[in-house]
Amino acid sequence: MFVALRGQICRLLYSFDTERHRPGSFRMKCLLPRLNFPPTDAPMPLLRFLPSVLMLGWMILLANSSPAQSNDVLDNQFRDVVQPILREHCWQCHNAETGEGDLDLSADDDVAAVIQNFRRWTVVLDRLKTGDMPPEDAEQQLTAEQRAAVSDWIESLKNAEAERTNGDPGIVLARRLSSSEYDHTIRDLTGVDIRPAAEFPIDPANEAGFDNSGESLVMSPALLRKYLQATRTVADHMAITPTGLAFAPHPVITPTDRDKFCVNRIIEFYSQQNTSYEDFLFVLWRYRNRNTSAGYDDSLASLARQAGVSERYCQTLWELLEAPTPDMTNASGPITALRVLWRQLPEGTKVDDRVRAHFGITQMVEFIRMLRQTLVPEVPNLTAPEIHSGSQALVLWKNRQFVANRQRYAETELPSLTELLTSDFGLVKDSEAAAAMRVPDDENRDAFVEELRRFCEVFPDQFVVTERARVYLDPKQEVKLTGRFLSAGFHSQMGYFRDDAPLCNLILDESQRQQLDQIWLELDFVSAAPMRQYAGFIWFDRTDSAFMRDREFDRYRAEDKDNISEEKVRGLSNAYQAKAKLLGASKDALAAIQFYFDDMSKTFRRLETLKIESEAVQLEAVVRFAQRAYRRPLSKVDRNTILAFYQSLRHDDGLVHEDAIRDSIIRILMSPQFCYRVSLPSDRSVHVENGIAPLDAFSLASRLSYFLWSSMPDDELLSLAASGALSDPEVLRAQTLRMLHDERAEDFVINFAGNWLDFRHFDQHNGVDRNRFPTFTDELRQAMRREPIEFFRDLLQQDGSVLDFLYADHTFVNPALAKHYGVDDETIRQASSSEHPSNWFRLSDAHQYKRGGLLPMAVFLTTNSPGLRTSPVKRGNWVVQRILGEHVPPPPAAVPELPADESLLGELTLRETLARHREHPSCAGCHERIDSMGLVFEGFGPIGEMRDADLGGRDVDDTAVFPDDVAGGGLDGLRDYIRRARQDDFVDNLCRQLLAYGLGRTLQLSDELLIQQMKTQLAGNDHRFVSIFETIVSSPAFLNQCVPSQGTD
Amino acid sequence: MKPSNPKVARRTLLRGAGVAMTLPWLESIAVWGHETVTGNDVAASPKRFAALFMGCGINRNHWWARGSGKDMELGKSLAPLESIKHKMNFITGLFNENATGVGIHPGQTGNILSGASLKKGSELRGDISMDQVLANHFQDQTAVPSLVLGCEQPVTGYHETNFSMAYSSHISWQNATSPVPMEVYPSLAFDALFDNQGSRRNESILDRVSEDAVALSRRVSAADRAKLDEYLSSVREVEKRAASMRASHAKAATRALDHGKPIQAMKRPDDGLPEDIREHMQLMCDLVAIGFQTDKSRVATLLLNRDLSGLFYPFLNVDSTHHSASHSDTSDAYERISRYYCSQYAYLAMKLDSMQEGDSTVLDHSCLLFLSSMWSGNAHDSSKLPVLLTGGLSGELQTGRVLDYLDKDDEDRRMCSLYLSIMDRMGVSLERFGDTDQRLAGI
């Protein structure tokens, strides 16, 4: 048994006890540090955890694989055959001292050591197979037999080990969330995209190249301090509400920020309500002409829903227009006029009918609007001697009059009918409808007035008032004062006034009304608006107004927190009224003043009570928040700890409720249960054998969500975890599909593909000389980075073939990138206007622009160019390593740099310079495998632009001889080469990358058969991408975990 | 008072009790922020900046100065500065272009320290103020990155110019859309300074978090435990540093006592707002002074009153409120008000000047800016602003001068140029700030 310790991380590997090994029996143990976990020696329990369908597949797979050789045999072969060859041919360079190519082949002394360090032996295998080691200039070359002996032995060992340990979940270390996971998790937890991790340092990647494993995600005091700041930022975005907690898109500490949050939500609600009469009437017309045949759901409700208008108001209008009237001949009034117009709307549903219906409806609406406008009475200011007409009590009185008139026929305040009915209200002269609006004779007057009442009731002058200038001044002077959302119409004082009764009465359904009531209450509650309004009143009546400058008012100060106490409000009310009365205020004015103080006091008392009563509610919300933040049900202990912390903040640290809640949130977010991903062992009832047990359902939910979303599980996943359904393979499959189609899968693409293909930080790429390449703007850079993401996402959505990454004849561009690729303006205009709101569109027949698939994307060509020249080496290396998954050792330290600017290369072209470099035998080994795959891109300049000549003015030549000695040119040449020689390498690499990312650890030998299975799966499914996700999430490595054997911890 | 940066622990509301130990500057034990210097190294005194704001302008007939140094002659309203006039610069003629021609009051105030163009209507938009730029710079070096204090509560609502009244209430802005929360309660400002509440609250949190980590690590495998230990030791390290910082402060205080040196202590102000505005303003000045002296903070703004202020001054024998009085800005009454405000500024300057720091005083290492939103409250004239600068910024700012920029081109008399020049001298060099990239010539 071997335990490798590297740095602080325990790297845990699988091994076996060679002495006790019994040939033929598959045994596996999860080895943990010797000190803690002496392994037991029981048979492998793996299969018992597999869903039955899968199990069949796995058994077949196991049965089909070649029989493993015994380790004794392998050990003997190593000693007798392999090591002598190595000693003679390899150790000279690859020893402990020189360690060329980072490789010491003398270090591993037996089979166990080879297994432990198998990565280096994979390199040996690669190099032997490609035949570039030993180098051409070596004194002695290997014979074909020797070569075969070593590589066969490595292969056999690999197979034996892979089979023996197959399905081992491996050690997935506990780890903190990566920065992007942190941001996404906060987004999904709070519902707002705060991105508190923006200032975290960039996360390092593990050996597999991903930043999502405990191997590389470490913690430090400096980072911890940033965590503290980040959580404080998140907590500053939290408002406490009567029903719990709410998160705002901005901090909500200052009153202005709190106002902004609460007001915006109300405005947002209003803006979502459709109050267009046209839309309502059109729905009614469609309903009148509905298809009554079976199979159609043309109910009024369903038509209203489709049109996005209130069903309730549709019903009201329908009854108004369609109600049977006994005698239409003598009837007159606005309702009658409307009914006439309504009846005149066309029957039928042809295009022509619709056009005419629209026309008729426009006329009806015009009539409604014009008539309704004439029925709005003037409301005079309420005044009182020496009281400023902008004083709150008087302004609010006026607002209430407006509200009272919204749905009322204000007969007494309006001119007589004869004066009112002088206009034709847009009706056609002498039409039947116009006749209905003639001044009624005495006999019909009551009926007419009744219709006016009904008309005003159903058609309010306004459904909702969202902004208000100063209401006590001439409206003409105030037209410029826009954007005062929900304002009460005061001067210089804050204050809100709710004026939406018609909306509530006519349009909203019960649940919408409740929601609206709720957000209005939250405005008062969160921003303390009434208290601040009252302070404003005291200030105004002493500064703009002189009313409160007498000494008796001195004890009422705007700054005084206590000014809202019952006693002080009553005191000021009495003093204010007494002075008003003394000065001769009217009864109405006195009543308005009295109402103002009583109403304010009532509001204060209600808010005070609510504040106290809701403390328990908010505390409970903190507990619920913790449950979501921890991504699993809280234990009793967790719950109690959270409550106890709150209590100690209140009672020991003396914090007020709101601060204690805020700190409780911070503490939850600082808890390792939030910012770490720890797979807790399943409950005790699960049988653990040989250190392997299934993940518990909540850990599985998190594993899925961090794999496919880089974020926390949503409610659906958590509830499936809670019910136990998630372990059902069908449910798991369905969830995987759902998640891949969810928007959050974009975060998977960015994190996975961004690391795999190395473009995550391209948005900060500064390697381009913008003087030489002025077209390389920030916008273009952003577009370049986005291209592989768009391509990848589309492939996922369509469940396309993974070979499209290589061979697709399409890509995705926005106008900036399309221009860069040489697409003509007309094509850009047509394509970008139609498809995607963000202007991204699919570029078909991309070969015209020498694009298509990943290989020629500008982002990769640019990243791999050092500024003022291309780099066939870097580009080729990117293809070889990132796309084909081949290990290439780093160059020796002494290699001279090429000039940074290709115009300075002198006589030789870059190609010739490289060719000269390859003449050196020790360089040739790698460069012959790399250069050709970069030279084919010479038709693309340093920012991936198409070009015919390089910066030195030489014609470009994009031909190359590939490692299989076949010549080819350009993108097509490279694709042909890959197709004939390397396609499997690409597929294999993609599977490995995806698996390493999905498991959150570097791969190990026990994953080999799973990788084979993924490849088989792909081959059998037209290389459809999604199939391998399903293979991964249903594999034992994904579903299980290593746990300490019982009794050893 | 709030740290400028929202990412930094913001002001907290712990109710601290009793008298806090404060730390005087001592030759042998210099304790500036986080760094502790012992032995013979004398830490350079830190530079501090404070801005004191008065709304609605001054009485221009009595707001003048002539001559220089000890011979400087001062107008009646500036009389309170007589004894330290040689440490003061009297400046006229500067202005904020974006505060002119946009309408009166809020539009002349919300950008007074930023020079930004302000947005009307319900959506607030201006820019970060220069004090907060400084605060961001010093945030890791002091316990409280900036003291943002006020003697009159902020209000919102709308002015007739359709600017939000929030602009009249806040001169410190943390970014384009959010003002820095302003503390009007002296007791709470005191707590934030001396309770170290930010860090104490963090400690409470970290305590529990380590308990969490320990509890969790009991339930996990040894490998995971190693990862959690990494977390735990980071938590403990952060806690330890916070504790050692407090300890070194306490130790310095004790040693100061041992040396028999006087410690300037300040009693925690009573809860609630002082009834008398005189007491309120003085307490706020005291807090700035003690915050500077103890290097708890290096940046402060004090809004003595709002623009459009409702304060009134029976003790000055003025009946109308501040704003109303400013409409007769050449009256005797408004002269008394102007002089009263100047006296608050003088009080803070002299207090800092009484605090020895090495061979000089805290004032000598500070820059105190006095400014108002207007020159004339009656005319609502912000085409030039009354500006005073006191303190030598460790010798970087020459004092005892009268500087008049009124005849200069608009390009050469911008407030933001002055801000750039001040920030330069405090080690924060920006290419551009507000409406200019030019430093103020002759300062």
* pLDDT surpasses 90 at A161: no
User: Which one has a higher pLDDT value, A665 or B25?
Assistant: A665
Contacts of A264 (CB under 8 A, 6+ apart): none
Give burial (CB, 10 Å; 0-12/13-18/19+) of A854: buried
User: Length of chain B, please?
Assistant: 443
CB proximity list for B432: less than 8 A, separation 6 or greater: none
Q: Which of B303, B3, B301 is nearest to B135 (CA)?
A: B3
The residue that leads in pLDDT, A355 or B267, is A355
Residues 6+ apart with CB under 8 A from A403: A499, A501
Write out pLDDT tens, residues A614-638: 999 999 999 999 999 999 999 999 9
Contact A219 B158 (CB under 8 A): no
Give the integer Cα–Cα distance in Å for B431 and B439.
10
Percent above pLDDT 90 for chain A: 58
E-assigned strand segments in A903-1046: 959-961, 967-969, 1040-1042
pLDDT at B103 over 80: yes
Q: Measure CB to CB from residue B157 to each of A492, A648, A673 and give the nearest one.
A: A492
Torsion B108-B113-B119-B125 (CA) sign = negative
Per-residue pLDDT at A365: 97
Could you report the per-residue pLDDT of A931-947, keeping only the tens digit for each? 899 999 999 999 999 99
The SS3 of residue A842 is: strand
Q: Provide the phi-psi class of A499: left if phi over 0, else alpha when psi is between -120 and 50, else beta.
A: beta
Q: Which 3 state secondary structure label does DSSP give A25?
A: coil
| Nearest residue to B137 (alpha-carbon basis) of B426, B431, B439, B425 | B426
pLDDT digits (tens, 9 = 90+) for A286-307: 999 887 776 777 889 999 999 9
Q: Which of A90-104, B22-36, B220-234 has the lowest mean pLDDT?
A: B22-36
CA A929, A935, A941, A944 torsion: positive or negative?
negative
The pLDDT assigned to A306 comes to 92
pLDDT value, residue A684: 53
Checking ipTM against 0.90, whether it exceeds it is no
Q: What is the pLDDT of residue A920?
A: 74
SS3 assignment, position A915 = helix
Query: What whole-number distance in Å separates Cα of residue B293 and Cα of residue A141?
Result: 79
- Residues of B whose CB is below 8 A from A259: 156
Beta-carbon count within 10 A of B243 CB: 12
Nearest to A380 by CA among A459, A465, A471, A506: A471
Secondary structure (H, E, C), A269-286: HHHCCCCCHHHHHHHHHH
Interface A-B: count of C-beta contacts within 8 A: 238
Kindly state the helix (H) or strand (E) to which residue A460 belongs, with its residue range: none
What residues of chain B lie within 8 A of the CB of A676, using their CB?
A: 227-228, 231
pLDDT averaged over every residue in chain A: 86
Residue burial B37-47, b: 16+ Cβ < 10 Å; e: rest: eeeeeebebbb
Which tokens in the block code for residue B401?
């001068």
Say whether residue B73 is in contact with chain A using an 8 A CB cutoff: no
**Mean pLDDT of the region A945-962:** 88
Say how far apart CA B123 and CA A646 lie, in whole Å: 35
Q: Contact at 8 Å (CB) between A594 and A575?
A: no
pLDDT of residue A329: 62
- Report CA-CA distances (Å) from A184 to A194, A196, A376, A737, A761: 9, 10, 52, 20, 17
φ, ψ for residue B68, nearest 5 deg: -150, 165
pLDDT at B286 over 90: yes
Predicted pLDDT at B65: 97
Tell me the mean pLDDT in the region A130-140: 73
Q: What is the 3-state secondary structure (H, E, C) of B255-278?
A: HHHHCCCCCCCCCCCCCCCCCCHH
For residue A893, the model assigns a pLDDT of 62
Contact assessment for residue A349 and residue A289, using Cβ atoms and an 8 Å cutoff:
yes
Residues of chain A with C-beta less than 8 angstroms from the C-beta of B152: 559
A584-608 pLDDT tens trace: 999 999 999 999 999 999 999 999 9
Q: Is it the case that residue A28 has pLDDT exceeding 80?
A: no
Q: Which tokens is A644 given?
A: 């106890």
Contact status of B230 with chain A (Cβ, < 8 Å): yes
pLDDT of A688 reads 64
Burial class (CB in 10 A: 0-12, 13-18, 19+), A1006: buried
Q: Which of B153, B231, B319 sits opposite A535 (nearest CB)?
A: B153
**Distant-in-sequence, close-in-space partners of B336: CB < 8 Å, separation ≥ 6:** B313, B316, B317, B318
Q: What is the pLDDT of residue B162?
A: 86
Is residue A236 a contact partner of residue A251, using CB atoms and an 8 Å limit? Answer: yes
Residue A132: band (very low, low, confident or very high) from pLDDT cuts 50, 70, 90: confident
Distance, CA of B263 to chain centre: 23
3-state secondary structure of B349: helix
CB pair distance less than 8 Å for A10 and B226: yes
Residue of higher predicted confidence among B287 and A1048? B287
pLDDT value of position B350: 96
Q: Residues 529 to 558 of A: which have CB under 8 A from any B CB?
A: 532, 535-536, 539-540, 542-544, 546, 549, 554, 557-558
| Mean per-residue pLDDT, A768-780 | 91
Q: Do residues A703 and A1038 make contact, with C-beta atoms less than 8 angstroms apart?
A: yes
A492 touches chain B (CB under 8 A): yes
Task: Tell me if chain A has a CB within 8 Å of the CB of B219.
Answer: yes
- Would you state the structure tokens that stand for residue B426, as one six-digit string? 């405090």
Closest residue in chain B to residue A473, using alpha carbons only: B160
| A456-502 pLDDT, tens digit each | 999 999 999 999 999 888 888 888 888 899 999 999 899 999 999 99
Q: Taking a C-beta distance cutoff of 8 angstroms, is the pair B292, B138 a contact?
A: no
**B184–chain A Cβ distance below 8 A for any pair:** yes
Instruction: Sort out which chain B residues have CB atoms less than 8 A from A666's CB and list them.
Output: 205
Query: What's the sign of the alpha-carbon dihedral A812, A815, A818, A823?
Result: positive
- Pair A816, A1036: CB distance under 8 Å: no
- For A32, which of B221, B238, B273 is closest by C-beta distance? B221
Return the pLDDT at A1049.
38
Residue A324 has pLDDT above 90, yes or no: no
List the Cα angle A966/A970/A975 in 5-degree steps: 65
Chain A nearest-CA distance from B158, in A, is 5
Token pair 């108002």 in the structure block, residue: B372
Interchain contact B66–A (C-beta under 8 A): no
Position B111 scores a pLDDT of 96
Residues in chain A with CB shorter than 8 Å from the CB of B205 are 228, 663, 666-667, 670
Rounded Cα distance between B74 and B338, Å, is: 14
- Tell me the average pLDDT across A12-29: 33
Given a contact cutoff of 8 angstroms between Cβ atoms, the answer to whether A655 and B14 are in contact is yes
Whether A11 has a pLDDT exceeding 60, the answer reads no
A948 vs A939: CA distance, rounded Å:
6
What average pLDDT does range A641-661 have in this prediction? 93
Q: Which residue do the tokens 């500067």 mark?
A: B94
3-state DSSP of A78-135: HHHHHHHHHHHHCCCCCCCCCCHHHCCCCCCCCHHHHHHCHHHHHHHHHHHHHCCCCC
- CB-CB neighbors (< 8 A) of B158 in chain A: 481, 484, 487, 490-492, 494
Q: Is A174 on the interface with B (CB under 8 A)?
A: yes
Q: Backbone phi, then psi, for B367, in 5-degree steps?
A: -135, 110
Tell me which of A30 and A681 has the higher pLDDT: A681
Which helix (H) or strand (E) segment is A764 a member of? none
| Cross-chain residue pair A532–B156, CB shorter than 8 Å | yes
Determine contact, residues A1039/A695, Cβ cutoff 8 Å.
yes
Residue A811 has pLDDT above 70, yes or no: yes
How close is the nearest chain B Cα to the Cα of A192, in Å?
17
High-pLDDT (> 70) share of chain B, %: 84
The predicted structure's pLDDT at residue B132: 96
Which of A223, A549, A671 is the closest to B319 by Cβ? A549
* pLDDT at residue A57 in the model: 38
Give dist(CA A41, CA A25) in Å, integer. 12
- The structure tokens 């730390």 sit at B23
Question: Residues of A numbered 980-1039 whose beta carbons fall under 8 angstroms of chain B's beta carbons: which are they?
Answer: none
Asked whether the beta carbons of B300 and B148 are under 8 A apart, the reply is yes
Q: Does A634 touch chain B (CB under 8 A)?
A: no
* A514 token code pair: 């409740």
Is the pLDDT score of A13 beyond 70? Answer: no
| Residue A897 parent element (H or E) | none
- Is the pLDDT score of A25 beyond 50? no
The CA distance from B185 to the nearest CA of chain A, in Å, is 10
The residue ranges of DSSP E strands in B291-410, in sequence order, are: 299-303, 356-357, 360-361, 366-372, 385-390, 401-404
3-state SS class at A1047: coil
Q: What is the pLDDT of residue A683?
A: 59
CA atoms within 13 A on the CB side of A754: 20
* Confidence at residue A526, expressed as pLDDT on a 0 to 100 scale: 96
Q: Burial level of A612, CB count in 10 A (0-12/13-18/19+)?
A: exposed
